[in-house]
Amino acid sequence: MSSRPLVAVLDYGSGNVHSAVKALAAAGADARLTADRGLVMDADGLVVPGVGAFSAVMAALQKIRGGELIDRRLAGGRPVLGICVGMQVLFEHGVERGVDTEGLGEWPGAVTELDAPVLPHMGWNTVQVGEGSRLFTGIEDERFYFVHSYGAQKWQLDVQGPFRQPALTWCDYGTPFLAAVENGPLAATQFHPEKSGEAGIRLLSNWVQGLSRTNL
């Protein structure tokens, strides 16, 4: 029996996700690419990858009722990590080339095109780590690998009461955008940790190590 935390990588037809599975394994997880609903629900952590267009990712998620799985996990305080477009679809909607597509609505707000002279934003960039971040423990000054033209450029969720305030990590490329969000059991990165070398493995390791902790 493996003592490694079980991490399900949601298989809904999104590009090449095998690098994410390998990176999670290097970070200490028993990582499995799966669309099995029971395994997705029972896993210690769920990773939602995503590449390509917002609308295409949403259509693919809807086919397997991925939004329902994410909702059910979060309702039970079960950790979920979105990556790249897997982060973007967590917002209410995305606007790409004039097309407004409804997202999963876990966070309010829109994903829109970056106001930058050259798109996509492709390559390594530094981030401004948010106060209280756990994902970036020990890697606050590292660079991470981005490939995207769109992002969440505002944060609109007002967290009240006893809940921990979200840790918001920003990046700048022409305009500031959210590079990562840590909000209770739900976390996400706009960059690709699996393509970010040792720093990315450290970030995933920080997430994997926290799977047994209460994040609320």
Please list the active-site residues: 84, 192, 194
Pairing of strands 45-48, 6-10: parallel
Q: How far apart are CA 87 and CA 85, in angstroms?
A: 5
> What is the 3 state secondary structure string of 129-140?
CCCCCCCCCCCC
What is 86-153 written as a DSSP string?
Answer: HHHTTEEEEEETTEEEE---SEEEEEEE---SSSSEEEEEE-BPPTT-STTTT-TT-EEEEEESEEE-
User: Residue 117 burial (CB < 10 Å; 0-12/13-18/19+)?
Assistant: exposed
Q: How far apart are CA 29 and CA 24, in angstroms?
A: 6
Sign of the dihedral through C-alpha 14, 49, 80, 95: negative
Angle, vertex CA 184, rays to CA 192 and CA 189, nearest 5 = 10
φ/ψ (deg, to 5) at 125 = -150, 155
User: Residue 188 burial (CB < 10 Å; 0-12/13-18/19+)?
Assistant: buried
